[in-house]
Structure 1
Amino acid sequence: MEQKKKDQDVLIVRDEQTGEIGVVAGLKSDGTPNLRPAKAEHAQDFLRFDRHGDVLDNFFANFFRQCKEPNRFGFYRVAVEGMENVVAVMKDLLKDPVGFRDVLAPHKVDTTKYEQAAAQQVQETPPEPEKEEKQQDEKYQPIDETQVDSEAFERLWGVKVEDLRQAGCWERMLGHGKSPLVTCYPEIGGIRFPVEARLSLRENPDGTVSLVPHPLHREPNLKSYKNIEFTDEDRKSLKKTGNLGRVAEVLDKNTGELVPSYISIDRQTNETIAVPVSVLRIPDEVKGVKLDKEQQEALAAGKGVYLEGMTSKSGKPFNATIQINADKQGLDFHFGGHRQAQRNGQQNGQTPDDGRKVYIGKTLLGLPILDEMRQGWAQNKWVLMEGLTDKKGRTFNAYVRPNHEKGKYDFRRTIADKSQIYEINPAHASETQVAINSDGKTNEATKHVGEPLKKGQTAPADTKQQEQQEQGENRRQHTRKRSGMKM
């Protein structure tokens, strides 16, 4: 390890515009260098270059291709060993780079060839007629099975391709997915040991395909991933949903780029997985529900989006929170207790105080949620809602109020304390309907109809209801006669 460290360098960069000096820790999304102080606690973030490798060439190729002002930065190469002392001296020298030109010359990186190569590539590259969507599809074509060395798989890992095919997971692996947990038998010191792992395929630069095992971990790493240090909020999200809940810039060690990525935990192996944002498409529709612009933007940002009225394969409607999952390279569906925690950030500007706060959407049980209702709930008051639909398709009326402590709506037929009701000036006819349908009260003109009133109804609506009302009234009079009651 010490010998390898002696053969590695890092890049010191000076921003000629701001005077900032630091160690390169990759590239930002705009192509500018990502800087870190030259201190031991940041050592794992530094981009390191083997003196006989091509990582430096890759870094500068990407830098000149992405950075709009490349000449704004000056690069200096120093050895990893003793770096802190060297950088301390170089900081003083770089305060006057012209005056100390000769002293800095041995460390100065001549980037002329990289700049010329980038300019030539721009001139020679014709405009691409295909849409970005098509490019992404082409980039992720299924793996060519003819390049798979089945004998090598069995020799190195004790896994037979035919067994994977019969288990129904081979096609998924060819499509850049992973198998379920299987037992493979790698050979270590001439002895084969059973290892529980998920398997995937990797395409190598020479065109061959390798088998990649993803061993079972005892527990997930909730501290960090590559250059990303997880925050308390990140850890909370990973524990609850298995997803980071945001987009993170993950360092590509081969190119030095910071790649915007989604991060998730493989629930079967506890392995941390990242996938670039650029390779996943945000859908316009999920399970029959159209996504609006805000929902698509929230989904693209890694957040959970609560959807109502989706349709399962069996044709049954369901509600759930959807979220990008890096391991699946697709969508997660969260139900039950997870739902409330993943509604955060979608509350029309409201910031939740805890993960169980009720998300007030556009509708509730089939009824639109009006601005007046939101105003009442903001005051923690009950709001009358007429025509709600229960799970069996029956309509009902109720006073409603979000219960943020329990993460759900509360429903009441009556409210004893009228000061707790937020009035939206309902018509008198509607009040009559609520009293009869929900409060159990009666109306002389309709008390024998025997079914819920329509909105605004204070009298029998048709001949059938009129007959029901008359029959009921006759029975009432007959009963009173038999009991000797006066009418």
Structure 2
Amino acid sequence: MEQKKKEQDVLIVRDEKTGEIGVVAGLKRDGTPNLKPAQAEHAQDFLRFDRHGNALDNFFANFYRQCKEPKRFGFYRVAAEGVEKVVAVMKDLLKDPIGFQDVLSPHKVDTTKYEQAAAQQQAQETAAPKQTPSAEEAQQPEQTQQQEATPAAEQGYKPIDIDRLDRSEVEQRWGIDLAALEQSGDLERMRHYGKSQLIECTPDFGGVRVSMQARLSLRENPDGTVSLVPHPIRREPNLDEYQNVKFTQEDQENLKKTSNLGRVAEVVDSATGELIPSFISIDRLTHETVATPVSAIRIPDEVKGVKLDPTQQAALLRGEGVFVEGMTAKSGKTFDATIQINADKRGLDFHFGGQRRAQRQEQSQASDDVQQPRRLRIGKTLLGAEITPEHKAGWEQNKWVYIEGMTDKKGQKFNAYVRPNHEKVKFDFSRKRPEQSQIHEIKPDNASHTQVAVNSEGKTHEATKHVGEPLQRGQTAPANKEQQRRQQNANKPKMRR
């Protein structure tokens, strides 16, 4: 098993025009190979291919579809292990490719079949009339809606032949009406290697019918027949492992949040023992763990009107989520979402909000790492009251300033002494009069003489001496019934006992 893990290759490419040599790390926007130096710090960027798989077909299908000068590049397939030393030797050999032809030949990638396939496809597209997308293809995605991806092996793709399915056996064994599946559209999805929605079925277990809910799929058997496969609901997903893959804590968190593993894992083929790079997801309806080979999924060039750049495509190929802005729904409205390959759907998931929040948190954290100490901002108003240059002059001396007409959280007006607290980055408020030395006096206008004398200078005014509250601007008498009652009660003569 360990030996098979090491059996991975990478592509070394030589640009015949510039002479540049490097390891392939995906494709650029124009379809040309993205070259990386054969150094350890770039190893995680290298495209890797299982030695016994067909993921290489996917790469060259995209390359010949996008690159305008494909013959400009020469590709060589070498072992990923020790690639740093191999590239150093290859550079010397490629200085004289004819002289070292015998040495280079076993590694040279024959791209003839890819060129022919690309030319054939282009000819077919040129000859075929353009078709208007169906309503289903243009449908706006919901939070978990699938966007079907084209199978990687486009030239050989064929839907499952349902005529090879024994309909009577399906009805008798599983208690399923195929006509109803066909009418609902589920059978069509199953023909294209998908699953039905949850349906009620009554399988026969030794003469006993048991009612259960399950999703259905089709399987092609070695003898050429087609069988129906039920996927019953599980009590909960298995977040510990899938076959030979042990889930890390990060894997488990990803599966809980998005139902996708968030990376490519090497899943063992139970028949051959081969380790196959695969996407892993949880079926949200049944809690079943599902794996789909990377080679079976073609990464799209464009999603909902937005062209994906090579970096985004590479991230999707690694199983990661990619935040995409400005996609267009069927309604014509634009939307932002995180897209990610879902193994169960064999296509794209759309997740809304999470990636943007994560990006904001990362940006905030990065900003905090270099952020200067916060400072209290003094604006033109404070709780709705105007802040004048005289107020600011008092605050520059770190003194209290009396401000009237502020509005609290309940919408009530109030007056108070205010002083900035730069250490806590906030304002301090006091309805009680501070010590005289800590107050910055502001010269009042004529309408405020009595107010300032009482509130700020500690003087008394007989008509408002017992109102129990700071005076308002221009106030020389009780302002309401409650203040009037206090003033009157205080002025009543006290009876002697």
- TM-score normalised over the length of structure 2: 0.46
Q: Which has the higher contact order (CA 8 A, sep 6+)?
A: 2
